Structure 1
């Protein structure tokens, strides 16, 4: 399921890039998150998965998680890409597994085994090979945009750690619904302040843009993040985050399939490295308990 979600996210990169020609960053983020919230609401009603009674601490954790994983992550990612390059963005986002592993080690005292560390490094090498092999790619000087992208990675990883804590008390669907409820409200308020005189026609530029928004909101955001949060609950944030290495790999594959871009030996090397990194990075730590 995670591999399928990463494929959806890989295609979503092209969809969001196309949507930036029709909407500004804050409006686009708000529309995508509102659609995602509506889709999750339909699932909650269908599954009859209501909200349990929350303590003040748990409600506060939901709000903090929404700020980190939805509000800040969406704005920092969009604004960071606007100021940086696609190459820098892909490589910085590929740091997510390493950041998540460090967050998990600090928050949950998870052991960063040698195999997992090698998997993280091997996956990053594979992503670097895929991204830097693209014609005309290169690294720009570090700047405000790069720092925003790093902050987006850290905020998403920190939010994932909170999801892992909440998963023992709440269903992943309920967690996702609550997070996107709060996040969608925040982004909508931000968009209304950022573009107070937005005309109605600007929200409906055509059929194709809204088809992309529905894909991005329903499949890439609601469904894929539900899979993501469910995986965090089952195998932890550190092991789940290793699968993020597949996003640029699928992005390149879709570019070759849909846009006719040429594949090289570097792409094959990157694919093999990402496969190896995923295998090593998702191996559970050996239990010290003896079998009876």
Structure 2
């Protein structure tokens, strides 16, 4: 019971970290640094941190076997490299509220990926939920948008965020077996190293060209938040939770993100909630709720005694 409370507390804190990021990141990019530059700083900082901690905490723990090594590479490519590049590219082009709403598609991806990779059953309500959720996401992506300095290309940005939610859902499914088999720092050190090889070639120039000498204190604090909280702490808590919870539960904790993100964005004056977005959000939430319903266990047939 106590461990269950810790898992839920950790996942809610992660949701709060992610929700705040939708608004805070808009202060940094693109005025002070481009999205790929932010990704480069985040991944390099986290890769160094996890490699150092792993050296002291679990020096003998190593990922072994061809299957686990390939899985760790896939997690690094999807969960770190592509995930970060797509997310910040999308957030740079769309609004905080739209980006946070589209993130709720990830649980649907988890269910589909679990059915394909882990052979979990997809029931009729889940099929309906996938259809309803995707309809809501499609309306949000293709709906009429008002371009602004904060959202210069919302349609393209929303497509990037949808792709980001997809690869993150795949990452949750693929990383769960690794987290149950190896130390969390062993897995995180590996996946961030792989992610660095994917992301840094896109963002190193962006990171080097930033005018750091003229960054206000608040920008430094927000960049520090993205490295320490959004990257290191959030990934650490998420992957720790995977030791005790299913990928689906982590997906469920994406639900509070839009609510928290809306409250933060509106409070900071970064975005505003419209009735259209509220309706699209309702469709997405309904779809995700249907998808999250567990199939009923089949009745156990009577077993006849075997003849002697």
TM more than 0.5: yes
Cα distance in 2 for partners of 1:279, 1:144 equals 27
Deviation at 1:277, TM superposition (A): 9.2
Which residue does the alignment assign to 1:253?
Answer: 263
Assess if the C-alpha contact under 8 Å between 1:29 and 1:75 holds in 2: yes
What is the count of residue pairs matched by the alignment?
285
Q: Secondary structure at the match of 1:165?
A: helix
Counterpart among 32, 35, 41 of residue 25 in structure 1: 35
Cα distance in 2 for partners of 1:147, 1:65 equals 21
Which residue does the alignment assign to 1:164?
Answer: 176
Q: Are the structure 2 counterparts of residues 259 and 149 from structure 1 closer, same or farther at C-alpha, using a change threshold of 3 Å?
A: closer
After superposition, the C-alpha distances for 1:139-172 in whole angstroms (9 at most, x for unaligned) are x999544433322222111222210232342223
Which residue does the alignment assign to 1:7?
Answer: 16
Residue 61 (1) aligns with residue 71 (2)? yes
Residue 179 (1) aligns with residue 191 (2)? yes
Deviation at 1:283, TM superposition (A): 7.0
Q: Secondary structure at the match of 2:242?
A: helix
Assess if the C-alpha contact under 8 Å between 2:93 and 2:153 holds in 1: no
Which residue does the alignment assign to 1:236?
Answer: 246
Cα distance in 2 for partners of 1:261, 1:84 equals 10
Which residue does the alignment assign to 1:152?
Answer: 164
Deviates more, 1:276-285 or 1:212-221: 276-285
After superposition, the C-alpha distances for 1:85-122 in whole angstroms (9 at most, x for unaligned) are 55543332221111111111221122346787898899
Deviates more, 1:102-111 or 1:269-278: 269-278
Deviation at 1:245, TM superposition (A): 1.5
Rg bigger for which structure? 2
Residue 16 (1) aligns with residue 28 (2)? no
Unaligned runs of 5+ in 2: 1-9, 139-145, 301-308
Q: Are the structure 2 counterparts of residues 101 and 287 from structure 1 closer, same or farther at C-alpha, using a change threshold of 3 Å?
A: same
Q: Secondary structure at the match of 2:255?
A: helix
Assess if the C-alpha contact under 8 Å between 2:33 and 2:206 holds in 1: no
Unaligned runs of 5+ in 1: 129-135
Residue 47 (1) aligns with residue 20 (2)? no
Structure-2-length-normalised TM-score = 0.71
Cα distance in 2 for partners of 1:275, 1:90 equals 12
